[in-house]
Homo-oligomer: A and B are copies of this chain.
């Protein structure tokens, strides 16, 4: 019933036209051998793997779930074999450097791969999901000896990493963690403590697991400045089993094929990664790409929701429609995708999904430019706007992924609520992404407090300037004029409210915290306006091709029906001048 095919045509549009990424690749020493054609072939292959191997295990993995017994975890039937195929296909090493045995491809292509994996089977994709982040972290902070020991195995996919952060009393507030690490022989440490919510903390996909563990050294200051990062393998290099036990797995609302483990470290042997007490900074290397990837989960769920809802709505016949496409004869009963409420739902699904794809890939491309662009200025600038957009991608995309999964479920009516059609699984799976990797509330604070106010609005000005360039290019095209004007107007209003919030913070320090959620949604809407203005410009005059005709329709829908929410967010941001009472205790 549930189906997934990689949206290759739209991926090519985003990469080759919207981003014109091949031009940047050719101007960048690291990617000079890559062109649009080769990228498309790689994505086609990734699409075959996702649709052919992962998607068929999505519903069965959910129904079977993971089984825990006596410290061991059995993942759902087919998961280990799918991982073997993933490794053999070279997907684990896509964006790892060639010098490390990887394929040296851009983050941009890795983002497209991630979208497909998460769309096809979120639970399965959790296992390799943070491998690239761990690779970057080890590469940046590991000693040569540690890198020699573990980097090739991560790149090859022979070993899978985990992140061990959360403890029962330390969730969003990682500074409350209590796990200890004591120096032992030969530069090693012994780690003791309990970690919860460790994805893939135990599994049967790889023989060894490499845990990245946050813990405190004996002399550590309290709070988040006393946290160090340790590398703690399940199996030690000499073949001994480390003192780590998996005490159980969570019974979750969704991603039931992903083992969410409780781990006990009982004097487990490991190594310090990075400097003492600087563990959060070291882990932060993983965070930007990890947050982008969680955002791509939202995109993947939106894509799956769109595909399944649109297929069902074209097939299901209920009631006579109030209007029909030109040339369609009257009928006693019509496919439900003729009904206006369903058309609106489906257009919203398509428009937001495609818009998020361009925005998410733009950010991934920014990560590449921040690392590989030729001049330091280019790298600095790319770093700035990707840092600004990362919390938006994480929070806005995951919120939309969940909301759109619910919209798609609604298209199915009663059938949406039963297991058989698996759209209810998309809804359940999508919900976690609003929580982990920093809750969406924390992302909103990060955006407004750190990335905007902390930077006196500079990063935002960069973003608005890029929009301004697009506005100038578009406004001479008749079909784009009203969109360009609307976007310019929202840009001005966003600047103004940003100034207001920055000023207000000095007398009412709580106000930005009251405003952060709406501010993030405003930036999300504005960024998607930028996406759709450029898409409309690229599609102008090409309506003979149904692909571009659909882009024009979606742009119109975005500017007429979706972007007006930006006005609402602006009004709410004004309303945050009103204080919020405390709740009775």
Contacts and interface: CB of A to CB of B under 8 A. Distances in A.
Contacts of A419: 250-253
B171 A410 contact: no
Identify the interface centre among A317, A344, A557, A564: most chain B CB within 10 Å of its CB.
A344
A225 to B, nearest CB: 13
Contacts of A172: 318-319, 413
Contacts of A415: 171
A97 to B, nearest CB: 33
Interface string A395-411: 00000001000100110
B406 A514 contact: no
Nearest to A516: B341
Contact of A427 (B253, B420, B557): B253
Interface stretch (A36-44, A88-96, A470-478, A577-585): A577-585
Sort chain A's interface into a size bin.
Answer: 35 or more
B314 A585 contact: yes
Interface string A337-350: 11111111011001
Interface string A450-473: 000000000000000000000000
A493 interface: no
A406 B402 contact: yes
A323 to B, nearest CB: 5
B417 A253 contact: yes
A251 B418 contact: yes
Contact of A413 (B175, B323, B435, B568): B435
A517 B572 CA distance: 22
B556 A418 contact: no
A365 B469 CA distance: 59
A509 interface: yes
Contacts of A223: 332
B314 A583 contact: yes
Contact of A253 (B166, B175, B347, B418): B418
Nearest to A196: B414
A310 B585 CA distance: 10
Contacts of A578: 556, 560-561
Given A553-B581, A580-B340, A582-B343, A318 B568 contact: no
DSSP majority for the A interface? helix
14 contacts: A169-B317, A252-B417, A314-B585, A339-B441, A340-B514, A342-B441, A409-B431, A410-B440, A417-B432, A427-B431, A560-B578, A567-B568, A568-B568, A568-B571
Contact of A436 (B414, B418, B517, B553): B414
Given A173-B333, A341-B441, A557 B584 contact: no
A555 to B, nearest CB: 12
B435 A414 contact: yes
Interface string A556-577: 1100110011011001100100
Interface of A: 166, 169-173, 175-176, 196-197, 222-223, 250-254, 260, 310, 313-314, 317-319, 322-325, 332-333, 335, 337-344, 346-347, 350, 402, 406, 409-410, 413-420, 424, 427-428, 431-432, 434-436, 439-441, 444-445, 509-510, 513-514, 516-517, 546, 550, 553, 556-557, 560-561, 564-565, 567-568, 571-572, 575, 578, 580-585
Contact of A414 (B166, B409, B416): B166
B556 A564 contact: no
A244 B546 CA distance: 51
Given A340-B510, A510-B340, A434 B410 contact: yes
Contacts of A416: 435
Contacts of A171: 318, 413-415
B333 A176 contact: yes
Contact of A568 (B173, B340, B350, B564): B564
B550 A513 contact: no
A559 to B, nearest CB: 9
Nearest to A569: B568
A254 B324 CA distance: 36
A581 B343 contact: yes
A562 B459 CA distance: 31
B510 A322 contact: yes
